[in-house]
Structure 1
Amino acid sequence: MKKYLALGDSFTEGVGDEDLLRPNQVRGWADRTAEVLCAHGWEYANLAIRGKKIRQVINEQLDAGLSMAPDLVSIYAGGNDILRPKADLDALMRGYEGMVRRFTEAGSTVLLFTGFDTVDSPLFSKTRPRTAIYNEKIREIADAHGALIADYWRWREFSDIRYWAVDRLHMSAAGHTLMASRVLDVLGANNVTQANWSSQITLPALQSLPVNSRGEQLKEDLGWAKEHLGPWIKRRLTGTSSGDTLQPKYPDYIHLSV
């Protein structure tokens, strides 16, 4: 029986794809991918926790993950580091490469992610150069260690705001569903799974985009700033994280079903 392990931060935990019946009350692309894998006999574990930075993923998830001997491991971390201008990406990515190397040496297939292109984001567009540097490091690591890449940067369909949650930072349920389909495409194209497994993901129909007046948009922006931006800034200033009190969703392998 093959085993899939997911490591990382909020992206992989599934924030933005609310499901009150699941651990941490989120589903996410990794769960959605695993549901297809498990339907074909795989097992699944997920150690990702929101708010984690690269060093935290290395320190808190690497050894545990290696002990679980996954056939496939997906790793994404770095978004929370990119948002911090003083973070040394070169040094952090050396640690990231060490994490990938240890899994590949242990015989795992490793799936990595590039960062999303924030060119159209009023709030995060200034992080674009750092994300581009991060992405080039990811490509170098993948080349050096034979890792697979889910190329989020080049998947332009994710620029549609309907694939984003109300916090404007995480993907919506529709976004996570699309990501699961794209991940299965990558796995199928590289013979990790059968090529047609992505067809088992049903993509939701997108609702029509609202046409807001300038006043309505301003009101929406102010509401977003109060509910999401303010608390995020407060956590940054106080050195706290939304994941500080959370545990991994699936710390042991399970057979996950819809």
Structure 2
Amino acid sequence: MNVRRAAAVARGRLLQGVLGYANRGNGPGLHPWNRYVALGDSFTEGVGDPEPGHPGGLRGWADRVAEELSKDHPSFVYANLAVRGLLLEQILYEQTGPALALKPDLISLSAGGNDLVFRGSDPDKLAAKLDAGVEQLSSTGATLVLFTGPDWGATPLLGRNRAKVAIFNENIRIIARRHDAVVADLWALTQLREPRMWDPDRLHLSPMGNYTVAAMVLDALHVPHTLQHVQPGDLPERSWRQPRAGDLVWARQYLIPWALSRLGPHAAEKELRAKRPEAVPVFGAGRPAGALPAGLVPVTAEAGPGDASVVPGRAA
């Protein structure tokens, strides 16, 4: 049996395991994985979701996923190798070897977002590089989760890259089918069009956004979990001048400094290291795994049957 066939068989067995666990009940912690390794950039590192009790002072969607997966799994361990600012080739070159050395049975990979913002970047060429990396990761037989990029259509300046992101996303879906990977579809996650899902820099997810992505990833893996699906309430109406003024402030305070920083690595960035370089148990520091981000409370009176949505700042 060749490597590709062996990997496909292994992933098929994992899928059967997921379905078998799911049929046993509806509680959290029902899944077949024991060793989860996350690869990527600031999106996976958790920038925008500060948490003093977590390694690196950040939580993020990957930590939240690991917290849920660790429930009722005493042997479950988790490593996060993501480092902010890295391009796709850097992620694959610097993180693939260490990830494979940890012998994961679940891998998440998000890469390419920093590349796509540059003028002249080619989403098809980026996807070809990603495909080669995915080939190496998937040959282990581990379940692999790949991410599409979010829809930047409503974001000033970054929205100009919408077509490139869409092309890259279609490549992601093709790569996922080729390697039997799971797709975590940020483009289809319409909640991310809500401004409060994003940090003030509009480049990174807020705690609410990370919470929402974590729930989506667990859903994509068909894992029962305790995270509630977030549906923020309506924002107050603003005049057309207010958003434009805000865009100018944002560009001056965040976008321009970020773009300049991409021209060359800063000394501080050269010293950045992964916040969880070793696969270790998740101890649940900080808020409980299922707790909502600050400013969100469950809605019970207004929710329909089976609706687990929440609205910020509104009492149940």
Same fold (TM over 0.5): yes
**In the alignment, what sits opposite 1:140?**
174
1:210 and 1:45 map into 2 onto residues whose CA distance is 40
Gaps of 5+ in 1: 189-194
Name the residue aligned to 1:161: 195
Q: Which moved more, 1:177-186 or 1:215-224?
A: 215-224
TM-score of the two chains, using structure 2 as the length reference: 0.73
Partner of 1:15: 47
Q: Based on CA coordinates, which of the two structures has the bigger radius of gyration?
A: 2
> 1:131 corresponds to which residue?
165
Secondary structure of the residue aligned to 2:171 is helix
Q: Name the residue aligned to 1:196.
A: 224
Structure with the higher fraction of residues in helix conformation: 1
Q: Would the alpha carbon gap of residues 83 and 205 (structure 1) be closer, same or farther in structure 2, given more than 3 Å must change?
A: closer
**Structure 1 residue aligned with 2:261:** 235
Match of residue 252 from structure 1 = 278
Spell out the pairing of 1:17-96 with structure 2 (5 A cutoff). 17-41=49-73, 42-96=76-130
The answer to whether the 8 Å contact 1:24/1:246 transfers is no
**Structure 2: how far apart are the matches of 1:255 and 1:176?**
21
Please identify runs of 4+ aligned residues in structure 1 that moved more than 3 A. Answer: 202-208, 210-223, 237-244
The answer for the alignment partner of 1:192 in structure 2 is none
3-state SS of 1:44 partner: strand
C-alpha RMSD of the superposition = 2.1
Question: Displacement of 1:212 after TM fit?
Answer: 4.2
Higher relative contact order by CA 8 Å / sep ≥ 6: 1 or 2? 1
- Check 1:131–1:221 CA distance in 2 against 1; reply closer, same or farther (3 A cut): closer
> How much does 1:178 deviate?
0.7
C-alpha offsets along residues 209-240 of structure 1, whole Å, 9 cap, x if unaligned? 24445565455434323321231122133454
Mapped partners of 2:34, 2:220: distance in 1: 17
Aligned residue number for residue 249 of structure 2 = 223
User: What is the CA distance between 1:246 and its match in structure 2?
Assistant: 1.4
Native 8 Å contact 2:134 2:179 kept in 1: yes
Letter in 1 for 2:210: H
2:130 maps to amino acid: Y
> In structure 2, do the counterparts of structure 1 residues 241 and 86 end up closer, same or farther at CA, with 3 Å as the change threshold?
farther
Count of matched residue positions in the alignment of Structure 1 and Structure 2:
250
Residues 14-67 of structure 1 show CA distances to partners (whole Å, capped at 9, x for unaligned) of: 111111332332110000010111123121100001111110001100111111
Residues 86-116 of structure 1: CA deviation (Å, up to 9, x unaligned):
2343333222112211122111110001111
Separation in 1, partners of 2:231, 2:187: 23
Q: Taking structure 1 as the reference length, what is the TM-score of the superposition?
A: 0.89
Cα distance in 2, alignment partners of residues 224 and 204 from structure 1: 25
Deviation at 1:123, TM superposition (A): 2.1
- Name 1:2's counterpart in structure 2: 34
Q: Distance in 1 between matches of 2:167 and 2:243?
A: 33
Aligned to 2:213: 179
**For residue 230 of structure 1, what is the amino acid of its counterpart?**
I
Alpha-carbon distance in 1 for matches of 2:98, 2:247: 41
Shift of residue 255 of structure 1?
A: 1.4
